[in-house]
Structure 1
């Protein structure tokens, strides 16, 4: 490799993580996670040097313990790229590859493909990776999608499913962006002076700053990648994969101890009817009612939350024996927090279900959020999951059954003996 084409692999490893504090030092089969990534990076043929960039002395000590190179950087960097700019002052190279410190399953061949793509074309400003995904995964806002031009250059990155499938038979398929970046030195030298763009701030994706500045990002296709580590559940999955053991995933619904549901558009079809006296009438689905009681009888609380208040609504809630409720609510986020306090549960133990923009504050408050099938797309994109049934058509029951399955209590709805065990308190 020419001296003019030195490739440095930089592994940003931040100690602080809201979902998994100390993540780089998490134990994976007797080694800290950052060591797994470091050793994979050392297997990349084009790499002239491998360096961990961290903001914490504990990670520095851990890297020194396994004989790795490490640089202690400022704790104030808003992104991995900003940390990379500081490292560039100490680590001399022509191409810098940012390799995430929470990707212990990274394939050296993929990183080498990225390096070779940069080495082959000096006109490429930034390089990255992608692979195809199915339609279901594309709906997840935590999965970043990329759209490419004919020459493999990125046109746009988004948390939304892009391109929009107006005609399914003409759709090119969705592509997932893999967050490994390669930068030329001259680009990193410019990065700090590039102003954050409106697109970057809207999507919370730093690569949009580069596109907005007119820089060229070339994307190279790889096979579907293994999972990264973002949560304790991800850590367990990766641990099993590295050990060669079958992974039996634990559903996040297994944590749920409280379900907060909207009324209009969720427990009803959203229609509002008035009788001759002016009384407001609503159409509820009986299966939803039974689902609410099955949860309650199984030790999982149910709360009803509505921006409206009426005698009809109160009668339905009373008939079902639901004692946690809030009617005529203006601030659904605050109301959810109050209901959690009454139930004695945390946000992570709470799921909510909604159908429209008015429910988005509840999505913020609750650890998990679900949109009914007929909710607008912009609501679905903010939810943890999307149900297959619409409001007033059994959507709540669909979620209730999934929660009972995750708790190992599916017998209460799929067997006579199980149902008899709770039938004294069941009602529709």
Structure 2
């Protein structure tokens, strides 16, 4: 069973233009992510999917493969659906290009859960740390049923509570490692637009709810931090330094 890592990366991020090429400890962020993916799956199975030649050039110079995507793709997952038409694989792992602290073991964990559950989309989650604000709109919060299947995901702090003594003690947050089959990616793209919930929350996995596709959430390592805005760069660099100090 062949598994490939597809890393969507676009230059024109509305909140942080040029984000994939921002330097973290002197290295472009996209290369932190490709190196992690290569550690998990092998460099020959890593592809960066981008519409921008500046990103593609940096990736190719580092020895990784790129796939050109259309400039007007609706989301990163739509880009991956395009790319999957040109790459034969059984499992496509989506690793976001702005999460340079992903644990390679979690990539393998997501892959293995997908192989065991081929009829479900797989996505990662971990618990918010005490330093993270559940009210931050930059952190998608995850609601699951007791089987860890996705019920909903929101930028608001969920679950809600009617009385203070019923407030949740902790919150789940999305970790942007996903596993898809080619058919699931095709169905996502063929929907042809962002769903209403997806558009409102700006969380693309919500489109699968409209497709009646079950999404199984898998707990991953704590400590994942994403670079959503420029202010995230300093804390992510600090976390990277701590990780490498322990190695």
2:43–2:64 contact (8 Å) kept in structure 1: no
Instruction: Describe how 1:23-34 pairs up with structure 2 within 5 A.
Output: 23-34=19-30
Q: Do 1:52 and 1:71's aligned partners in 2 also have CA atoms closer than 8 Å?
A: yes
1:142 aligns to 2:138 (yes or no): yes
Q: Does 1:120 align with 2:116?
A: yes
Secondary structure in 1 aligned to 2:46? strand
Query: Which of the residues 179, 183, 186 maps onto 1:182?
Result: 179
User: CA separation in 2, counterparts of 1:228 and 1:121?
Assistant: 27
Paired with 1:220 and 1:48, the residues of 2 have a C-alpha distance of: 26
Deviates more, 1:155-164 or 1:135-144: 135-144
Which deviates more, 225-234 or 85-94?
225-234
**Native 8 Å contact 1:7 1:46 kept in 2:** no
Is the 1:25–1:33 contact (alpha carbons within 8 Å) kept by the matching residues of 2? yes
* CA offsets 1:269-288 (integer angstroms, 9 cap, x no match): xxxxxxxxxxxxxxxxxxxx
Q: Please state whether the residue corresponding to 1:127 is helix, strand or coil.
A: strand
Give the TM-score normalised by structure 2. 0.88
Aligned partners of 1:134, 1:33: CA distance in 2, in Å?
23
Structure with higher Rg: it is: 1
Alignment RMSD = 2.2
* Distance in 2 separating the partners of 1:80 and 1:244: 29
Which string of whole-angstrom CA distances, capped at 9 and with x for unpartnered residues, describes residues 133-179 of structure 1? 26872222222111111211001111222211224544554211122
CA distance in 1 between counterparts of 2:163 and 2:42 reads 43
Moved more, 49-58 or 134-143: 134-143
Indicate how the Cα distance of structure 1 residues 47 and 183 shifts in structure 2: closer, same or farther if over 3 A, else same. Answer: farther
What are the ranges of 5 or more consecutive residues in structure 1 without an aligned counterpart?
A: 246-428
Listed one character per residue, the Cα deviations across residues 229-286 of structure 1 (whole Å, up to 9, x for unaligned) are 22333223323333349xxxxxxxxxxxxxxxxxxxxxxxxxxxxxxxxxxxxxxxxx
CA–CA distance in structure 2, aligned partners of residues 96 and 88 of structure 1: 8
- Residue 66 of structure 1 is matched in structure 2 by 62
In 1: Cα distance, 2:216 partner to 2:86 partner: 27
Q: 1:164 to 1:19 in 2, by over 3 A?
A: closer
User: Aligned partners of 2:224 and 2:179: how far apart in 1?
Assistant: 20
| Contact 1:146–1:158 (CA under 8 A) maintained in structure 2 | yes
Report what 1:217 is aligned to. Answer: 215
Is the 2:4–2:41 contact (alpha carbons within 8 Å) kept by the matching residues of 1? Answer: no
Partner of 1:138, secondary structure, is: coil
Alignment partner, residue 202 of structure 2: 204
5+ residue gaps in structure 2? none
Matched, 1:87 2:86: no
Q: Secondary structure of the equivalent of 1:137? A: coil
Q: Is the 8 A contact 1:8 1:47 kept in 2?
A: no
Contact between 1:7 and 1:48, CA under 8 Å: does it hold in 2?
no
What's the counterpart of residue 228 of structure 2?
A: 230
- Please list, as runs of the form range in 1=range in 2, the aligned pairs for 1:317-328 lying within 5 A after superposition: none
Of structures 1 and 2, the one scoring higher in RCO (CA 8 A, sep 6+) is: 2
Maintained 8 Å contact 2:5/2:41: no
TM-fit CA distance, 1:15: 1.3
- Give TM-score scaled by structure 1 length: 0.52
